[in-house]
Structure 1
Amino acid sequence: MKIGIIGATGRSGSLILEETIRNSHDVVAIIRDAKKLRRNDIPFIEVDALNLTAKVLQDFNVIIHAFGSWGKNVHLHKEVMEHLLKIINDTTRLLVVGGAGALFVNKKKQIKLKDTSDYPSHLLPVANAGNDVLTILKSSDYNLWTYVSPVEHFIFEGDRTGNYVTGTDELPVLNYGTSEISYADFAIAILDEAKNRNYIGKHISVYSLEKYTI
């Protein structure tokens, strides 16, 4: 399985890259700045995401989209996804690292986490951008996408346990009062879905049943 990771030097992308290597997949880092790549044994394509072409993507079985942009450039989330859907081959899987803000908080699916009164205001722009990406995917003619949301607490320092649960597009609240997933376990979940293809065309969440020891 040949995998391309867009944003392979970011927090999510870098751990997904390491997990891909650990599983001996053929992987290429698709990055804007090669100087940020921490390994020198990985093939890479240095290109701005908006300059990606169909030719660059045509040989990949799976594209993992871990693109991130904040502040004044948060609008790029939407623009990059619109561009990607114009050039991706209709036989190539697309797994998107999404956001928790896009998860529903009630069974009637009327309210999303980002729209709750206590959602941090400084995170709202990127949460709205992530939700825009999901809307674009749902309305597109491309069908092989999966949008994967971490849950409320996305923990960079959390251990790689290999124990995770795949949930729906509703925010889970566990017996410890909230929900967590480590970046490392999230990376495992992404690679498992790339291999197993269980949730094509769906928005899913990934969480741990136990709290992490930090």
Structure 2
Amino acid sequence: MKIAVIGAHGKAGNLIAQNAIKRGHDVTAIVRKKHNDNFKTTIEKDLMDLDKEDLKGFDAVVNAVSAWTEDTFYIHTDGISHLAQLLEGTDTKLLMVGGAGTLYINKEHSLQLIDKPDFPEEIKPLGRTLRANLERLRSFSNLRWTYVSPAYELDFEGPATSNYIIGGEEFFTNDEGKSYISYLDFAEAFVDIIENDYVRQRVSVIGA
């Protein structure tokens, strides 16, 4: 598959790109500024400056861009709208690295993890932005999107175990009652999701 990874220098983006390369996929890194890395092909552009020609011919485009401050949150919402305009009506899949806060905690899907009283106050603004991000994705009727939520605890120092569960829209835990996954396992699961048909779905991943 031909895969573009936007934000390929970030924690999740880099590991997703490297995992895809190991599996034999043709990966293009899309980054704001080139670093010394092993990517065969790199596009040096801001997400909002990408055009249709940049994304032409890819089987999948991964949006792994991080934005942690309120003045950059627009990249999660306006960025999705921009990518949708470029990819609507094409066969290219758009996959978004999302957040755990948008997972539903009731069967009616009226409450999300971010709505719990004990959800950390300091990350609620980001959680609300990612909720808007998911809602915006759902609004495009002719876009082959997938939104991937990691476990609540996403550990950059954790090991690769290749032992994980791909779930749906509702928050769940493993047999030990934990919502945990390492970045390495998340990246591996993410490439599984790219390779399979999860189009127009939100899925979640936890360590087994």
Supply the AA of the counterpart residue of 1:162. Answer: S
**Structure 2: how far apart are the matches of 1:110 and 1:141?**
22
- Between stretches 94-103 and 173-182, larger displacement belongs to 173-182
**Structure 2: how far apart are the matches of 1:146 and 1:127?**
18
Q: CA deviation at 1:42?
A: 2.7
Q: CA deviation at 1:177?
A: 2.8
Q: CA RMSD in A?
A: 1.3
**Structure 2: how far apart are the matches of 1:40 and 1:190?**
20
Supply the AA of the counterpart residue of 1:13. Answer: G
Say yes or no: does 1:191 pair with 2:197.
Answer: no
Supply the AA of the counterpart residue of 2:204. Answer: S
The residue aligned with 1:77 is 76
Say yes or no: does 1:33 pair with 2:33.
Answer: yes
Supply the AA of the counterpart residue of 2:33. Answer: D
- List gaps (5 residues or longer) in structure 2: none
| SS of equivalent to 2:53 | helix
TM-score of the aligned structures, taking structure 1 as reference length:
0.92
Say yes or no: does 1:63 pair with 2:49.
Answer: no
User: For the Cα contact (< 8 Å) 1:104–1:111, is it kept in 2?
Assistant: yes
Cα distance per residue 1:41-71 (max 9 Å; x no partner): 4310000100000010012111011011111
Q: CA deviation at 1:109?
A: 1.6
- Between stretches 3-12 and 73-82, larger displacement belongs to 73-82
User: For the Cα contact (< 8 Å) 2:27–2:39, is it kept in 1?
Assistant: no
The residue aligned with 1:212 is none
Cα distance per residue 1:71-97 (max 9 Å; x no partner): 121122101101000011521011111
- List gaps (5 residues or longer) in structure 1: 210-214
Say yes or no: does 1:88 pair with 2:87.
Answer: yes
Say yes or no: does 1:14 pair with 2:1.
Answer: no
1:128-167 paired onto structure 2 within 5 Å: 128-167=128-167
Supply the AA of the counterpart residue of 2:171. Answer: L
Q: CA deviation at 1:8?
A: 0.5
1:104-115 paired onto structure 2 within 5 Å: 104-115=104-115
User: For the Cα contact (< 8 Å) 1:78–1:129, is it kept in 2?
Assistant: yes
**Structure 1: how far apart are the matches of 2:38 and 2:33?**
13
Q: CA deviation at 1:162?
A: 1.1
Supply the AA of the counterpart residue of 2:66. Answer: G
Cα distance per residue 1:94-124 (max 9 Å; x no partner): 1111100110112222210111111111111
**Structure 1: how far apart are the matches of 2:180 and 2:50?**
34
**Structure 1: how far apart are the matches of 2:173 and 2:108?**
16
The residue aligned with 2:103 is 103
Task: Report the number of matched residues.
Answer: 206
Supply the AA of the counterpart residue of 1:8. Answer: A
Indicate how the Cα distance of structure 1 residues 33 and 113 shifts in structure 2: closer, same or farther if over 3 A, else same.
same
The residue aligned with 1:182 is 182
The residue aligned with 2:41 is 43
Indicate how the Cα distance of structure 1 residues 25 and 67 shifts in structure 2: closer, same or farther if over 3 A, else same.
same
TM-score of the aligned structures, taking structure 2 as reference length:
0.94
| SS of equivalent to 2:194 | helix
User: For the Cα contact (< 8 Å) 1:95–1:190, is it kept in 2?
Assistant: no
The residue aligned with 2:202 is 203
Q: CA deviation at 1:174?
A: 3.0
Q: State the identity as a percent.
A: 37
